[in-house]
Structure formats: C-alpha cells, structure tokens
Structure 1
Amino acid sequence: MADKAIPDISLGGAEQNMSREELAAVAKAIAALSQEDRDLLGAVQESPCRLTTTEQFLEFEKNADCFVLEPHVQTMEALGWEYLKEKLTIDLTDDLRAAIDPAPFGRHALEEDCGCFTSRGYLYPSGDEWQHDRPQEKPADRKPSIKERLEQSKQECMGKNKAPAPHKGKSEPEL
C-alpha cells in the first residue's frame, strides 16, 4: 500500500478497485484504528472473511465486534485446550491433561466457530450483524416492494368486496 504508516495491513487486492480518494480515505480510517483493532483487521485480511470494498474498510471500526481474535491461540492444540477449558465443568489434573489429545477438540471448535488461523492468532466471526453507515431510506422516498404492492392491492380488493352485493334471486317474504 502507498501509505507507509500502516504497512502491517494488507487490503488483499481491494485497492485495485479503489480510486485515489478512496485509498486515502481507507488509509486514514485504518490509521485511526487502535492497535488492537489494527491487529484484528490484519487478521481479517488474512482470512476468508477479508474486506473487499471501500465501504467495509470505512465501516470496520464500528463493526470490529463482528470478529473475535484470540492472539494467544496459534495452533490446533491450543484451540483444543481453549475449547475444553470453556466446555468442561471440572479442572483437569496433570494426569488427565496428559491423557487427552486436544487436536480433535480444536478441529471441532474450528468447524463450530467457522474460524481460521492467521499469523496474528485464531479468528472467528462473533455472529454480530454488520452495521452499515448508509442512511436509512425515508419511507416517502422508497418505492413499495412488489410484496407490499400486492398486499395493498389485496386490501383494496377486499375493501371493495365488503360492500353488500345486490341480492340476486327471489326476495324473501316479509313477515
């Protein structure tokens, strides 16, 4: 990247689709991140979850909670021990620890978390929904969806059909 102030973050090829102005905005946004968030972004960029658009880079700071980075977890075995520590309700003695192969537990955790290992540690999505900076459309400016239009037509038809229909056939005798 052209900005030497943030050499530890790769844009993963996204920079090829950015204008100079967008690159400058992304560089500024990354430079404004805390070191912890920069490490997190670096890990995200090494993962299949990497950011690919200018908008994502600009929104990253307020969406950092969408990812969890465990820098101390660097191997499948370490991940397995973390998984066991989280799931077990008993403390393991040294004898029990020696009898356990943590790697299968690590593989299970990796699949369960949809995580991956990066040079910065173990990364996985938190499950939080990404929040966009785009302003929400005003209802008056928004065109109704097809579903909304069909529902509206249905309501209109039902309203027309509620008027009493003229009675066809013989009238009943009055009493």
Structure 2
Amino acid sequence: MTTPARTAFDLGRRLSRENAVVVLDALCAATGLRTEEVIELSDLHPGARGITRLREVLPLVDGGAESPQESRMRLLLIDNGLPQPETQIVVRDHCGSFVARVDIGWEQWKVAVEYDGAQHWTDPAQRSKDIDRHAELTALGWLIIRVSADQLRTRPHIILNRARTALRTQGAHLNS
C-alpha cells in the first residue's frame, strides 16, 4: 500500500509523458490528490530516477478530466500552442441557472471542446439531449467543437484548426 502522492510520484517518473498525464489525471480525480502533494514528495527525492519527467508532467495534470480521451485532448491543445484550457466548466444562463458542464474549454472566450464517446452517437436519447444542449450553449454565445475518437486518433489537425478558428472568432489573440 502507498499513498496517492507516492503512487503519483512513482508513476509520473516511469510512464511516458502522455500515459503519465492520463493516469495522474485519473488518480487525482479518484482520490482528491493535489499536485502540490507530489511536488512536496519530489522535493524530498531530488535525485530520483525520472524526476525530470515527473516535473514536466505535474503542471499538465488536471483532476477535472473525466476520461483518458479528455486528458489526451487537453494535451493535444496545449502541445500545439493553444492557451491552457479549463476542465468541467459550468455554464449558466443569464439568470444563473445551470445549463451545462463542458468537458474542456476557455470560459473567457466561450469556446468548448467536447469529447463525444460512442454513446453520444448511438443512443437516440443521448443524441437528442446533446442536440438540445448544443442549442442552449450556442444561444448563450458558446462555440462548441465536438470531437470523436476517430478524429482524436487520426485527424488531430482538424480539432486544432477548429479550436484555433473558434478562439480567434471569439476574440482570442493566438501566436500560431
């Protein structure tokens, strides 16, 4: 048995960058672990093998990711020069009533990137709910980029182009 911080310390040093972020996101979500706890532990072991990798991974960890694909999607955006997105953004209407929670995005510019797993395409009830949700978000001025597993795996440039275009449309000043 180890603490969540020790588990994160070990996995973050040993796994590839992408896998470490995915696993540590899930560990943080499941246990409430904060990256500061892992940083404190790493400070006690400055010469540990893989410590450089761990220090590269920790700023990328976000316990708000609700799936490995959301973690991968967030890394794709960051690695390609887009501003650091927030996770699980709560969107409210003009009266303060809850409308939706979006996977990843930039609240400042009202741009969301939503990973849609298979159930979003195959379940008629979920599909209908998604259509209504999209209409409500659009009415509030949000631009939504919907992403499938195939796009994330084989056509990430499409996601990036759409995200850049949406951010620029909403007033973001991007370097790339």
Calculate the TM-score normalised by the size of structure 1: 0.29
Q: Name whichever structure is richer in strand by fraction.
A: 2
Q: Name whichever structure is richer in helix by fraction.
A: 2
Calculate the TM-score normalised by the size of structure 2: 0.28
